[in-house]
Chain A
Amino acid sequence: MVVINPSFLKGEISVSPEEIVGLLGRSGSGKTSIIKEILGFGGICQMREGRMGIGLPPPRDLISGVLQDPNSQVLGDSCEDEIELLSMDHRVDAAMAERLMGKFFRKNFFQLSDGYKKRYALATVMASKPRYLFLDEPLANLDARGVAQILSIIPKGSLVAEHRVREIRDVVDRVYVISGKSVAEADVDRLYDESFLRANGLRGFSVQFERGSLGKLLLDADVGFKLEVREGEVVGLYGNNGSGKTTAIKKLSRKVYPVFQNPDLQFFKRTVYEEVLDENALRAFGLADKAEASPFALSFGEKMRVLMAAAFSSGKKVLAFDEPTTGMDGDAFLSFLNAVKSMKEQGRGIVIATHDEDLIALCDEVINLESRERLRY
């Protein structure tokens, strides 16, 4: 069993080779920082296996990990390529990697689906057979299909840092929760307790949303299918990754104010204020104290709030959000719901492209991009 004492939190985390352990916490609580410390890229945490201390960086055949973004962890053209490169450096289990990737073992990384990109990142590390594996938000950005593709291969001896509670609570044997300046083990049953989830800024709780009356038609567009949006209306475009949600939003980009998935590529100014240019919007989105901060340095949830505040202050009648809840913890999710409520009250129309089923509760109409079925609530 490996025992870790993070440098910036009270408490300790332990992982044995026979279990999968969850590490949960709100956005900005330190999950990524803990993983980086353990892997030797951050502060100095104390680690031991049994009674033996583990120095930093730890031996990679003992402790390894996969960081959040698979796009910047690729060493080869394809999994086969990368395994061959790694085999020149140390012994790897190429058969394991091929089994994990299946028919995509020889496919170029950038042609893989989001789920298989994450699987590639895992497979190339697992092939080196480290005893313990530390995973930073392996389910981020994934639809249900992608989540299943990852959960099915997470090995024993792993610590999984996540805030997508609903997806991992049936997989973990034990769980730790970061709260304030400490980390402590919690009963896995608590992950089904909605008040516990809300109190700790975790996702997985259900939401109710009041639908109001709709006003005049604001948008009538053809994006491969007919899309109409009225005042106070939320239209959902529902589908798995690759179903055309982003394409639909891009087609609308001249008529609406769109907010896309990767916030860092959508910031062009050095401070939050310069991005939003409206003090009322900053206050409405809880960003008044971050006005002079760099938008790039904020947590993911805060970055999405900056983009929403900018959308809010744009004055445009129809706003479109592409997977807005990706990477959002429970607090940011509630913040987003409140923002949508304000926008509806202002008589704006909203289009949300998503695979997040929690957002269906918000929508007045949902268009399934795969079956083209329309549901009006």
Chain B
Amino acid sequence: MKVNAVLALPAALMIALAAAITPSPVPMISTIPFLIGRKRFLLLELLVIALSAFALSELDRFSLFAYTERTATFVNLYLLASDYVDRPSILAITGKAGLPLIVGLNYFPLFLSVSSEVTFYARIRGITNELKKGKFVSFFQSLALPILVEVVRVAENLYMAYSLKVYGGGVIKRKLRVTGADALFGAYGALVLWLSLIPHF
């Protein structure tokens, strides 16, 4: 199920604002149900939150738990946005100008994989030995070179693919279809903000 960005992004911003300006646990709790699909991550996060609460209360520093809640909220909101926001609907807000950014966002997994592969290959080729010999500049250049060549190659290829596929020439037709589910999500964000501002919450 994807939610229209026109309402999803403001809702997410309201939840983020609630987390930033209040110590309430409501923003963090409000994001958890949406991550049911990411069971392993959710379990790990809940474990970290519990450990943090325990440790801070033992050290008599429970007032700092608000920072744990805040971090968890922001991380959850990012994952939520990745899973639930309908990316093409972002163009309803930005128009064609937003298209390169929308497209660029798809390349997170590719560059994550490229950089972790390059570092793995660097380790098995002994490039990291240059560090032990004190050759810091040589190490940086060696590690960065294949990553940079790949970034340039991807940029050139994507530019060509974009030119092949996006050729309508005119203004992108903005599709602003808001459904009941979108409105519900928008209202949800507002509710979270309101509840967070109520002191006893």
**Which A residues fall within an 8 A CB radius of B?**
36, 39-41, 57, 60-61, 64-65, 67, 69, 71-77, 81, 84-86, 88-90, 109-110, 124-125, 128, 250, 253-254, 258, 260, 262, 264-270, 296
Contact = CB atoms under 8 A, between A and B. Distances in A.
Interface stretch (B18-26, B38-46, B160-168, B192-200): B160-168
Interface of B: 87-88, 91, 96, 99, 102-103, 106-107, 109-110, 114, 117-118, 120-122, 124-125, 127, 142-143, 145-146, 149-150, 153-154, 157-158, 160-168, 172-175
Contacts of A72: 110, 153-154, 157-158, 161
B160 A85 contact: no
5 contacts: A40-B163, A76-B87, A265-B114, A265-B117, A268-B143
Given A72-B154, A265-B121, A84 B162 contact: no
Given A75-B161, A89-B168, A81 B124 contact: no
A110 B109 CA distance: 7
A270 to B, nearest CB: 7
B164 A60 contact: yes
A344 B11 CA distance: 65
A296 B127 contact: no
A75 B172 contact: no
Contacts of B167: 60-61, 89-90
Question: Most A CB atoms within 10 A — which of B91, B158, B167?
Answer: B167
Contacts of A296: 149
Contact of A88 (B88, B107, B122): B88
A255 to B, nearest CB: 11
A109 B106 contact: yes
Given A75-B161, A85-B88, A88-B168, 9 more contacts: A64-B164, A67-B160, A71-B154, A75-B166, A85-B91, A85-B102, A86-B166, A89-B168, A266-B146
Contacts of B109: 110
B91 A69 contact: no
A76 B106 contact: yes
B146 A81 contact: no
Given A67-B157, A81-B87, A88-B173, A266 B125 contact: yes
Given A75-B165, A258-B124, A268-B125, A88 B157 contact: no
B43 to A, nearest CB: 22
A41 B160 contact: yes
Contact of A125 (B145, B146, B165): B165
Contacts of B168: 88-90
B164 A125 contact: yes
B164 A268 contact: no
A89 B106 contact: no
Nearest to A263: B146
B142 A268 contact: yes
Nearest to B89: A84
B141 to A, nearest CB: 9
A56 to B, nearest CB: 12
B143 A89 contact: no
A35 B80 CA distance: 41
Question: Most B CB atoms within 10 A — which of A81, A89, A266, A296?
Answer: A89
A59 to B, nearest CB: 8
B127 A268 contact: yes
Contact of A73 (B102, B124, B157): B157
A85 B166 CA distance: 9
Contact of B106 (A75, A84, A254, A268): A75
| Nearest 6 Cβ contacts at the A-B interface | A73-B161, A89-B168, A72-B157, A90-B168, A60-B167, A268-B142
B94 to A, nearest CB: 12
Contacts of A85: 87-88, 91, 99, 102, 166
Contacts of B91: 85, 88
A293 B127 CA distance: 20
Nearest to B160: A41
Contact of A77 (B106, B114, B149): B106
Nearest to A108: B109
B116 to A, nearest CB: 10
Nearest to B143: A268
B125 A88 contact: no
B2 to A, nearest CB: 9
A265 to B, nearest CB: 5
B146 A264 contact: yes
B146 A267 contact: yes
Contact of A39 (B146, B154, B160): B160
